């Protein structure tokens, strides 16, 4: 049965949200790989570093696990239209699952502020795509008003069924690690539902006696989109400090996260931390993940950059097992990757603010393409210089 092939619905006993789970709308989501990152582990002085690659879902991000759940509820309840505001991944997932179910979908995205790969997905899957001249938070305001006026089912993560689906990667992770959960989980923070959902998943397993403790869950944000970090710094998580968000990690360019309270609860109850990382740190971490043959989108790379800080602060120790949640596929934002490797990502001001050690570290990961005339002599000489390779 299709639902048995889904990494979400095979856990349907822990997901009591549909009258008939066999009628779930599924694209065989979930069942994502848990990779080891031995070179990055070594570089950080850790014995054990893993990456749960949620970018290996059907539409290339973790949103599929939540969308299969909430979209299935929309269909069961008889909705014809579904909608979301998005920085690109929620919209891609919603458009795909809606198309699969035969429902109509409306996407609100901030114009010029999402990666092309993601924009192309909502068009490919047939959504009504509306680009608003505002940011993500502005899109949310318009959508909130719209769903009050029309019978449209809201599929952002304020929808509780999204979290039900998004808790299941915690189950998979425990299963993949023989129920010996890691000491630390590191999650990128945007609208903050993912950290909340994973926390719920681990708490439920603990409650059922499937695991003997819950991992520490830490959330990492970009410095330019850091409302949770500021909320923790300025008032210890009591009142949200909204920001005007700006980061090249466009998926997490969010200034007023909806699920901040749930996320704070998870961080507190698991003993986790909130860190922020710079644009340079994100870019370097993305290249370091790519160099292990894994790859991810910029928003996912904040996890490795944040881990580096937590290790340096002595909060995570060599013998503790760490799992990074890689939320999106590297092909989601190939412009970012190409600009990085061509050294066209940073402004002059950003470049001159870097120390020579930082510049050298970035440089050691850059692999810009080489453009050559098809002259055998030139090609051979260039390859010799790059590969230290000599003719036999």
Ligand X SMILES: N[C@@H](CCOP(=O)(O)O)C(=O)O
Ligand Y SMILES: Cc1ncc(COP(=O)(O)O)c(C=O)c1O
Show binding-site residues for pyridoxal 5'-phosphate.
89, 190-194, 327
Give the CA distances from residue 63 to residues 194, 195, 387, in Å, rounded to whole numbers and listed in that order: 9, 13, 41
- Among 84-92, 145-153, 287-295, 313-321, the segment contacting ligand X (CB under 6 A): 84-92
Report the first-to-last Cα separation within the chain, whole angstroms.
Answer: 56
- The verdict on 189 binding ligand Y (CB under 6 A) reads yes
Residues 128-187 that bind ligand Y (CB under 6 A): none
**Residue 300, binding choice from ligand X, ligand Y, none, Cβ under 5 to 8 Å by partner class:** ligand Y
User: Could you tell me how many residues of this chain bind ligand Y (CB under 6 A)?
Assistant: 17
The CB-side HSE value for 224 (13 A sphere, CA atoms) comes to 15
- The verdict on 122 binding ligand X (CB under 6 A) reads no
**Residue 6, binding choice from ligand X, ligand Y, none, Cβ under 5 to 8 Å by partner class:** none
Beta bridge partners of 85: 108
Cα separation of 69 and 21, whole Å?
10
Q: Phi first, then psi: what are they for 58, rounded to 5°?
A: -55, -40
Give the CA distances from residue 210 to residues 9, 163, 225, in Å, rounded to whole numbers and listed in that order: 18, 20, 36
Q: Would you say 336 and 345 are in contact if contact means Cβ atoms under 8 Å apart?
A: yes
- Among 99-107, 177-185, 189-197, 272-280, the segment contacting ligand Y (CB under 6 A): 189-197
Cα separation of 43 and 384, whole Å?
29
Instruction: Give the helix/strand (H/E) hosting 276.
Output: strand 274-277
Residues 244-263 that bind ligand Y (CB under 6 A): 251-252
The correct pick among 54, 87, 121, 218 for binding ligand X (CB under 6 A) is 87
- The verdict on 89 binding ligand X (CB under 6 A) reads yes
Cα separation of 353 and 365, whole Å?
19
**Residue 156, binding choice from ligand Y, ligand X, none, Cβ under 5 to 8 Å by partner class:** ligand X
Shortest distance, CB of residue 89 to ligand Y, whole angstroms?
A: 4
Shortest distance, CB of residue 32 to ligand X, whole angstroms?
A: 17
CB-wise, 139 or 193, nearer to ligand Y? 193
- The verdict on 168 binding ligand X (CB under 6 A) reads no
Binding mask 291-320 for ligand Y (x = CB under 6 A): ------x-xx--------------------
- Give the nearest residue (CB) to ligand Y: 190
Residues 327-386 that bind ligand Y (CB under 6 A): 327-328
3-state class percentages of the chain: helix first, strand second, coil last, to nearest 5: 50, 15, 35
Shortest distance, CB of residue 87 to ligand Y, whole angstroms?
A: 6
- Using CB atoms within 10 Å of the CB of residue 45, give its burial: 0 to 12 exposed, 13 to 18 middle, 19+ buried: exposed
Give the CA distances from residue 384 to residues 116, 329, 377, 379, 388, in Å, rounded to whole numbers and listed in that order: 36, 33, 11, 9, 5
The residues binding ligand Y (CB under 6 A) are: 61, 87, 89, 188-194, 251-252, 297, 299-300, 327-328
Give contact residues for ligand X (rule: CB under 6 A): 63, 84, 86-90, 156-157, 190-191, 193, 251, 258
């Amino acid at each position: 049965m299709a639902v048995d092939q889904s990494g979400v619905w095979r856990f349907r006993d822990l997901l009591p949200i549909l009258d008939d789970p066999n009628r779930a709308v599924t694209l065989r989501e979930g069942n994502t790989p848990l990779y080891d990152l031995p070179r990055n582990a070594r570089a950080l002085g850790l014995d054990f570093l893993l990456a749960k690659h949620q970018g290996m879902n059907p539409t290339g991000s973790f949103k599929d696990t939540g969308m299969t759940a909430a979209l299935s509820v929309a269909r069961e309840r008889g909705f014809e239209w579904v909608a979301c505001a998005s920085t690109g991944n929620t919209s891609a997932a919603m458009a795909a699952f809606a198309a699969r179910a035969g429902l109509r979908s409306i996407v609100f995205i901030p114009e010029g502020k999402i990666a092309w790969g993601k924009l192309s997905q909502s068009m490919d899957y047939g959504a009504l795509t509306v680009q608003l001249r505002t940011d993500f938070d502005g899109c949310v305001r318009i959508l909130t008003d719209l769903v009050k006026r029309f019978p449209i089912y809201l599929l952002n993560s304020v929808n509780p069924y999204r979290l039900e689906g998004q808790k299941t990667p915690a189950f998979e992770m425990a299963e993949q690690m023989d129920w010996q959960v890691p000491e630390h989980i590191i999650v990128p923070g945007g609208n903050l539902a993912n950290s909340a959902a994973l926390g719920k998943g681990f708490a439920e397993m603990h409650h059922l006696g499937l695991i003997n403790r819950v991992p520490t869950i830490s959330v990492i944000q970009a410095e330019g989109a850091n409302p949770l970090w500021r909320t923790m710094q300025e008032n210890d998580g009591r009142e949200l400090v909204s920001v005007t968000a700006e980061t090249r990690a466009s998926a997490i360019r969010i200034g007023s996260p909806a699920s901040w309270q749930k996320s704070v609860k998870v961080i507190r109850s698991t003993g986790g931390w909130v860190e922020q990382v710079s644009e340079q740190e994100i870019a370097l971490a993305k290249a370091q993940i790519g160099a292990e043959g894994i790859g991810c989108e910029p928003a996912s790379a904040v996890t490795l950059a944040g881990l580096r800080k937590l290790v340096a602060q002595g909060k995570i120790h060599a013998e503790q097992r760490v799992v990074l949640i890689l939320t999106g596929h590297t092909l989601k934002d190939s412009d970012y990757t190409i600009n990085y490797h061509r050294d066209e990502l940073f402004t002059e001001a950003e470049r001159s603010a870097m120390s020579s050690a930082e510049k050298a570290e970035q440089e050691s990961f850059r692999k810009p393409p080489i453009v050559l005339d098809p002259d055998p002599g030139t090609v051979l000489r260039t390859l010799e210089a790059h590969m230290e390779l000599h003719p036999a």
